[in-house]
Structure 1
């Protein structure tokens, strides 16, 4: 393959088509238009199917791909898989999900595999050190962009129930500089960086590496190049059975971290949750039955009777 894109910064096939559309023959334009109209699943078709659905010959399809810089349709499929690995939601296998109950089985197995990979790579010693840092830190700043933002928001919401001094950055409409300017060795920054990260992500990691605050990066395996610039790096595989990424492993990790922190500082956590419950009641913010009594939080070890 000669000019095939190989990185998220390279042009994908849709961009190449738009750039060269005016130079294509009428029949090539028909194929190109079909690809643009079906960009999310064009890779499930073979060259003959693309020709039939576009109303042109297979030779026309081949000529179009060569004009775009691809040596063969196999290279086009490989390009589509590369885009998918970088987070572009493309269907690369029409039969990937299966039918009926098989869909549930495949989905469950993929989610289980992702979580197993995440926790196996993490290890107990690293996890304990991270929880200790969360417990001791003067201030915790959680940063998340794009699809990482909901996970970062959830992590902040869980941590804030066990301890004070947890902030989410940047706030809507605000810049990040103010949130990290005064951080020092007493603080901890948690960055969520899932694929299709913003352009300034590398600069953010470099800035944190140059500072004295401890840093944790929770990201997909593609962010491994940042591993040496942070104190802790936790991989969360995002693969699913089809086009859209799954964040189940990341959300499960958030739950594990928050619960571990709560049990690390159980007395303080109980007192804080009690205080929050009283405020919920005073402000009439939550249904009465949804306010959790602190007696449900115990310090019994697994296997012990109450």
Structure 2
């Protein structure tokens, strides 16, 4: 099975230690795998990759069948389950069954939409794009831990500074997030914008601050290294990606895996934009009257500078 390239200095095959808090036990299978991927042996990673790629087969077939299909020993899957703090592989399968159950309606509606969009032309492309976009959002909503997301938003709300970093295809997404968030306060900054030094910006950050990294495969080295640097300095690190294999997830205090399936040849950012716009809306609801006053002042100045035109 082909694996994504990982930017790691060395293999760490030590057995995963159980989380000291009960919160970990409430996370989804993919979240558990993502948080601890770097600590798993290559064989256990291969087993995890297979389960992520084949959740329905895993949930409905016997362990022996899963073993035969994957080419991995049954004991490998049992070890993976224990490494991720499940009592047994059957408990892991129950978690996958619950998640699949929440997705059934979404998958059925997407399948029906794809069937109806079989014709060629603009209508067909529009229908397929719509189905992929709505499907990504629906899948995100079935997988995300709302309490963890709210806790992350609360941490961003109290941060002294919030830095944003997106490279390659994620650059514009980070810039859009910065544009939205700057209406709420001046403490949001996009790193590396217009050639500015990322290192210089990170040098002034500590545990009072937060860094949001948006990254999709192939992972930009600068994003991975910035995550490591911020983590070492005690900065609150939030990572938004689309794969449990993202190296930065294992050191992030808050990480979210966003579906990115699309009808085109490139990675879809619809789900990511949905998550980020929701994040800003939640921040705005916590900001109080000062934020509303700031937004009004920005609008007045924009009109005075004729940056916008009223119709």
TM class, shorter-length: 0.5 to 0.7
Question: What's the TM-score, normalizing by structure 1?
Answer: 0.60
How far apart, CA to CA, are the structure 2 residues paired with 1:124 and 1:222? Answer: 18
Deviation at 1:170, TM superposition (A): 0.9
Question: Residue 97 of structure 1 contacts residue 242 of structure 1 at CA under 8 Å; is this kept in 2?
Answer: no
Q: Deviations over 1:18-48 (max 9, x none)?
A: xxxxxxxxxxxxxxxxxxxxxxxxxxxxxxx
Normalized per residue, which structure has more helix?
2
Q: Which residue of 1 aligns with 2:213?
A: 191
Deviation at 1:214, TM superposition (A): 0.5
Q: Which residue of 2 aligns with 1:255?
A: 277
Q: Which residue of 1 aligns with 2:31?
A: none
Q: Which residue of 2 aligns with 1:179?
A: 201
Moved more, 217-226 or 253-262: 217-226
Q: Which residue of 1 aligns with 2:59?
A: none
SS at match of 1:216: strand
Q: Which residue of 2 aligns with 1:47?
A: none
- Verify: 1:122 aligned to 2:153, yes or no: no
- Counterpart of 1:280 (choices 302, 305, 308) is 302
Q: Which residue of 2 aligns with 1:111?
A: 133
Q: Deviations over 1:228-269 (max 9, x none)?
A: 201111112221123122111111112111111111113122
Deviation at 1:103, TM superposition (A): 2.9
Q: Which residue of 2 aligns with 1:99?
A: 120
SS at match of 2:250: helix
- Counterpart of 1:168 (choices 176, 190, 202) is 190
How far apart, CA to CA, are the structure 2 residues paired with 1:235 and 1:227? Answer: 9
SS at match of 2:221: coil
SS at match of 1:138: coil
How far apart, CA to CA, are the structure 2 residues paired with 1:8 and 1:183? Answer: 29
SS at match of 1:207: helix
Question: Residue 162 of structure 1 contacts residue 272 of structure 1 at CA under 8 Å; is this kept in 2?
Answer: yes
What count of residue pairs does the alignment treat as equivalent? 200
How far apart, CA to CA, are the structure 2 residues paired with 1:245 and 1:222? Answer: 16
Deviation at 1:97, TM superposition (A): 7.5
Superposition map of 1:137-286 within 5 A: 137-286=159-308
Question: Residue 213 of structure 2 contacts residue 223 of structure 2 at CA under 8 Å; is this kept in 1?
Answer: no
How far apart, CA to CA, are the structure 2 residues paired with 1:107 and 1:263? Answer: 31
Question: Residue 138 of structure 1 contacts residue 186 of structure 1 at CA under 8 Å; is this kept in 2?
Answer: yes
For structure 1, which runs of at least 5 residues remain unmatched after alignment? 10-95, 290-306
Deviation at 1:277, TM superposition (A): 1.4
For structure 2, which runs of at least 5 residues remain unmatched after alignment? 7-116
Deviation at 1:271, TM superposition (A): 0.8
Deviation at 1:106, TM superposition (A): 2.4
SS at match of 2:193: coil
Cα 1:98–1:237 change in 2 (3 A) is farther
Q: Deviations over 1:66-121 (max 9, x none)?
A: xxxxxxxxxxxxxxxxxxxxxxxxxxxxxx98524333332222111211222332
CA-based RMSD of the aligned residues comes to 2.2
Deviation at 1:186, TM superposition (A): 1.1
Cα 1:288–1:211 change in 2 (3 A) is same
Cα 1:105–1:288 change in 2 (3 A) is closer
